[in-house]
């Protein structure tokens, strides 16, 4: 329905400018979100030891084509195909509603990237950039897992896991809880405007499931089981990497919005025209409002991280990100002071949980990705349920009906169940099962001798073999 509003109408200049503005808006968000991936590369290289640098960069590089191609082939389809579960809650697309009067936006013709075999589809200025914005979310989900497993996973295994989280499981949770027709909105009252759970909790849970099978890096734990600190080898790269992720997060937040939407007829106000930005659920918000909340949650996270870690640079920088992630579920509706406090609470819980899980279960999360994304995202969903209790879960709850029922309002129980679904059901459980399968095939972890020598050793040896082969053939 939203995409249908942006079909190009060249009958007047204002309509054309509105469509082209929307196209450019999403294109800019893709450019900014690309910086998140640059940041993850720098962050992981800064956290890893020199002998693993090339391998660390290569797996981050290769997730780009792997996730992009699979997201094009089936990930995008999953998002549009399964918002109802399927069958858990009937689609509003099939019922009588004033909101959805034309489903041609979902027709094959509209979503075809070309109109003829070699021609660009000039009727569609939105699908490509909207698809790309969602694709960059997919990259982010895979990159979160990437940091947690550095220095011991095979490139093959990571490729399989990146496709699974980036193009399958994240796509399912987005369909369920990040789609205006999603069953989790209707039944649970799930609300996750800027993806505390939809991207971060699921990716953190998925990483935890993989780590439980993958095991710790050699030397991480002493013979008595006490954890050793394997700190970042290049704090400069870690700092710059995280600041690039902060920068890219501006694009992330903007991409979660619809830039211009007429609330008049959609909200039952016939004859009224009122254009504003909305979040992905078509709940009214503004870039101005989320700018307040983004910066306040970032600041709350940084302050809490500095205090709880006693000034540790690695955790201070990471906590800025954790603060944003914790507040993201409701940052379209929070007061800025609420965003700051929620960010601080999430950081303290994530920090404490990281070290408790590390000691109790011998989990080696190399960059704290499970804590920063998983635990902070999980906590953020639960807090959102209490702070926004009674608020509409979606703008569609104003007038849309599904099977004779209205959308459930945001509530603590629904958000808690939603957090369980995101972190455990679609995150940790699939990650654990896939890692078990790869481990059983002998494809999950690199050999001990290769880990000791460094993952780059294999890359260099392969290069030497290539050089020998070229030299012998030239002779």
| Highest averaged pLDDT of the listed ranges 172-181, 202-211, 448-457 | 202-211
| Predicted local confidence at residue 282, as pLDDT | 87
Residue ranges of alpha helices (H) inside 71-123 are 76-81, 108-111
User: Who has greater pLDDT, 121 or 327?
Assistant: 327
Burial 138-152 (b: 16+ CB within 10 A, else e): bbbbbbbbbbbbbbb
From the number of C-beta atoms within 10 Å of its C-beta (0-12, 13-18, 19+), residue 85 rates as middle
| Predicted local confidence at residue 395, as pLDDT | 81
List of residues 6+ apart from 473 with CB closer than 8 A: none
Percentage of the chain beyond pLDDT 90 is 72
Residue ranges of alpha helices (H) inside 152-201 are 155-164, 170-177, 183
pTM listed for this prediction: 0.92
Beta strands in 359-418 (DSSP E): none
User: Who has greater pLDDT, 138 or 401?
Assistant: 138
Q: How confident is residue 95, by pLDDT bands cut at 50, 70 and 90?
A: very low
User: Who has greater pLDDT, 127 or 75?
Assistant: 75
List of residues 6+ apart from 131 with CB closer than 8 A: 71, 72, 76
Long-range contacts of 87-90 (CB under 8 A, 24+ apart): 88/183, 88/187, 89/183, 89/186, 89/187, 89/402, 89/403, 90/402, 90/403
400 pLDDT more than 90: no
Beta strands in 239-343 (DSSP E): 257-262, 275-279, 284-285
106 pLDDT more than 70: no
- Mean pLDDT over 237-245 rounds to 96
| Predicted local confidence at residue 271, as pLDDT | 80
List of residues 6+ apart from 459 with CB closer than 8 A: 54, 55, 58
293 pLDDT more than 80: yes
Token duo for residue 368? 């704290």
228 pLDDT more than 90: yes
| Predicted local confidence at residue 103, as pLDDT | 40
Longest dimension (CA), the chain: 82
List beta partners, residue 276: 261
- pLDDT tens for 406-441 read 899 999 999 999 999 999 999 999 999 999 999 999
List of residues 6+ apart from 469 with CB closer than 8 A: none
| Predicted local confidence at residue 96, as pLDDT | 37
- Mean pLDDT over 361-369 rounds to 97
């Amino acid at each position: 329905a939203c995409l249908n509003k942006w079909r190009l109408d060249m009958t007047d200049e204002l309509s054309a400018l509105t469509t082209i503005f929307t196209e450019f808006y999403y294109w800019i968000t893709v450019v900014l979100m690309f910086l998140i991936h640059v940041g993850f590369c720098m962050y992981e290289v800064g956290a890893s030891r020199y002998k693993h640098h090339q391998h660390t960069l290569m797996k981050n590089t290769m997730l780009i084509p792997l996730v992009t191609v699979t997201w094009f082939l089936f990930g995008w389809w999953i998002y549009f195909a399964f918002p109802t579960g399927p069958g858990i809650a009937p689609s509003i697309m099939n019922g009588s509603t004033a909101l959805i009067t034309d489903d041609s936006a979902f027709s094959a013709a509209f979503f075809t990237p070309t109109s003829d075999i070699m021609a660009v589809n000039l009727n569609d200025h939105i699908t490509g950039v909207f698809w790309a914005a969602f694709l960059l979310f997919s990259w982010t989900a895979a990159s979160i897992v990437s940091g947690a497993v550095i220095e011991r996973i095979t490139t093959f295994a990571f490729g399989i896991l990146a496709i699974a989280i980036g193009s399958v499981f994240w796509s399912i949770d987005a369909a369920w809880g990040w789609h205006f027709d999603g069953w989790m909105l209707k039944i649970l009252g799930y609300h996750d405007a800027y993806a505390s759970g939809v991207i971060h909790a699921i990716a953190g849970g998925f990483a935890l499931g993989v780590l439980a099978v993958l095991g710790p890096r050699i030397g991480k734990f002493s013979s008595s089981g006490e954890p050793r600190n394997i700190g970042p080898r290049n704090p400069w790269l870690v700092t710059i990497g995280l600041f690039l992720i902060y920068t890219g997060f501006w694009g992330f937040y903007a991409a979660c919005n619809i830039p211009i939407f007429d609330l008049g007829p959609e909200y039952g106000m016939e004859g009224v025209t009122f254009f504003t930005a909305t979040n992905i659920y078509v709940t009214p918000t503004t870039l101005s409002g989320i700018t307040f909340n983004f910066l306040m949650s970032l600041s709350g996270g940084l302050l809490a991280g500095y205090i709880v870690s006693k000034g540790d640079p690695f955790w201070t920088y990471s906590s800025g990100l954790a603060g944003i992630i914790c507040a993201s579920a409701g940052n379209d509706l929070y007061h800025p002071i609420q965003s700051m406090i929620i960010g601080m609470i999430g950081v303290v819980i994530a920090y404490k949980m990281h070290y408790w899980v590390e000691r109790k279960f011998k989990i080696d999360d190399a960059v704290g990705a499970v804590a920063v994304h998983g635990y902070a995202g999980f906590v953020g969903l639960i807090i959102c349920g209490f702070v926004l209790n009674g608020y509409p879960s979606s703008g569609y709850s104003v007038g849309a009906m599904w099977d004779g029922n209205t959308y459930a309002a945001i509530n603590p129980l629904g958000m808690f169940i939603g957090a369980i679904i995101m972190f455990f059901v679609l995150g940790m459980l699939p990650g654990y099962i896939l890692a078990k399968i790869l481990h059983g095939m002998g494809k999950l972890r690199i050999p001990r001798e290769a880990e000791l020598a460094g993952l780059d050793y294999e890359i260099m040896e392969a290069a030497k073999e290539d050089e020998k082969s070229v030299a012998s053939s030239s002779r």
